Amino acid sequence: LHDPRSNSIGALLAHIAAIEVAYQCSTFEQRKLSDAEHARWGAALDLGERGRREIRGRGLDHYVGLLDEVRTHTLQELARRDDAWLEETTPFWGGQPANNYVKWFHVLEDEINHRGQIRWLRQRLPGG
Q: Please provide the DSSP assignment of 52-98 as one string.
A: HHHS-S--HHHHHHHHHHHHHHHHHHHHT--HHHHH-EEE-GGG-EE
3-state secondary structure 87-98: HCEEECHHHCEE
Core vs surface per residue 60-73: b (16+ CB within 10 A) or e: eeebeebbeebeee
Position 40 confidence tier, pLDDT thresholds 50, 70, 90: very high
pLDDT at residue number 87: 97
pLDDT at residue 34 is higher than 70? yes
Look at residue 2 and give its three-state secondary structure: coil
Core vs surface per residue 4-42: b (16+ CB within 10 A) or e: eebbbbbbbbbbbbbbbbbbbbbbbeeeebeeebeeebe
pLDDT at residue 37 is higher than 90? yes
pLDDT at residue 93 is higher than 90? no
pLDDT at residue 49 is higher than 80? yes
| CA distance linking residue 89 with residue 102, whole number of Å | 9
Residue pLDDT, tens place only, 63-72: 999 999 999 9
The amino acid at residue 128 is G
Put simply, whether the predicted model's pTM sits higher than 0.75 gets the answer yes
The region that residue 31 occupies, defined by phi over 0 for left and psi between -120 and 50 for alpha, beta otherwise, is beta
**Average pLDDT value over all residues in the chain:** 94
Residue pLDDT, tens place only, 106-117: 999 999 999 999
Position 128 confidence tier, pLDDT thresholds 50, 70, 90: low
pLDDT at residue number 72: 98
Residues listed for the chain: 128
